[in-house]
Chains A and B, each alone.
Chain A
């Protein structure tokens, strides 16, 4: 069970004056249950990539296999794919439309053709999962704050119980507590529902803390693909692409540049703190 991107090429505005290659021969494989982050500069093709993975955009060449089946094949059951692959866009405004929050969350499961009771049960569960207060259930989604809208939008996707959850810059517009909450939820979903999670982010710290694997995009090309720790060890290459490394790695990097030898390559804050503590204790002796 996996997602395979097989040499996908995608161009915007094909055969016009504005033709623009957004993805150039991108290939990779994501196994079930992986926790993957996609990073890259603005305009590097991240959003385009995840839209191709769930069939919203059709590649100009190459294809995507989901569980071994070509999703762009004529006979492929596209509506079935919708229930299995969830995608949350950056702006929740584009999907909220019902009179109240609860009906809006019901919309997705309803389209899957489920029975009313099942639909409502799933919507209720999803709204509980995103920590929305009961009294907000029957408010208009347009009256909510940006962060609350985002939670409702996420609930709308979760209610469809997808196996793969893709999120395009999910933390944009969330407050620090909201960000923490979101990643806690993703972790829980992965553990309880065995979901595959793919998220796009510009914040290297949250990538370091959460993702297990990273894909780096640069100008439409996949330039790096590896374990989080491994990818973040390429400091010069990443900064060369206009990217960054996590704050924790940066601190240790600065220490190294100043002649304090460290032997670890920490990526999370916890690891960095432990390493600094160790160095400090070593100095005292």
Chain B
């Protein structure tokens, strides 16, 4: 029940997307996100949808995992749609009291929702095909040049990867804590808000205590192995661009050019 958290939920299967260098996936996802803001007309949206569909198919990740991420932003999508439908001025289609529904409003709403879907699905593909540790390593390598400006890139990357690694552990502990407190008579099925808030205390306190304890243990373990950030650390599996990575860059370049050309023509 608690495992529905997509963040950092890598889907272990072998596909071309899984094998790509994480840097490629990060940069391509970023380019895709930019492209989503460049499209204006039907053809552009079609191209973006098609590209996303192809990526979903070649990732081999079941579709239901892909749309899991959308559940989390369902409220935001509905809110965006509603606000846009009611507040965009233009040709009035329907008037309910003081609010007008306009054709332009509907168009804008559809566009906004589509964009949100593209953004979330795009990043979901990246997350589902890359382990959190490869992802942070990729980020670290991309931002490496910033170390010249005294930015602690390695330390930040290490912190992110530890945080990501802790998520499944904490989810697991949360599950155990909820069970232990259910045994002591806490009714987690009660839907009343006041009860639900009261029920948080016996869950959150042990969770925080355990998170702090684990963090402390990890710090000691790292120090005992003489961990020292920065310097001339080398990776155990250094990232190297392969032929398929160059092809991936080429593909995303062609896609971006297409989006731009469509934008100019229509």
Contacts and interface: CB of A to CB of B under 8 A. Distances in A.
B3 interface: yes
Given A13-B3, A93-B206, A97-B201, A108 B180 contact: no
A93 B202 contact: no
A51 interface: yes
Nearest to A91: B176
A212 to B, nearest CB: 25
Given A17-B13, A95-B206, A96-B206, A56 B179 contact: yes
Contact of A89 (B3, B11, B176, B210): B176
Given A97-B201, A157-B184, A51 B3 contact: no
B184 A95 contact: yes
Contact of B183 (A91, A97, A157): A157
B186 to A, nearest CB: 6
Contacts of A83: 185
A107 B184 contact: yes
Given A13-B3, A17-B11, A79-B187, A95 B181 contact: yes
A31 to B, nearest CB: 22
Contact of A111 (B186, B189, B209): B186
B13 to A, nearest CB: 7
Given A94-B173, A97-B202, A79 B185 contact: yes
A8 interface: no
B180 A94 contact: yes
Interface string B235-260: 00000000000000000000000000
Contacts of B189: 78
A156 B181 CA distance: 10
B87 interface: no
Nearest to B181: A95
A193 to B, nearest CB: 18
Contacts of A86: 183
B90 interface: no
Given A91-B176, A111-B184, 10 more contacts: A51-B179, A86-B183, A93-B206, A93-B213, A94-B173, A94-B176, A95-B177, A95-B181, A95-B184, A110-B185
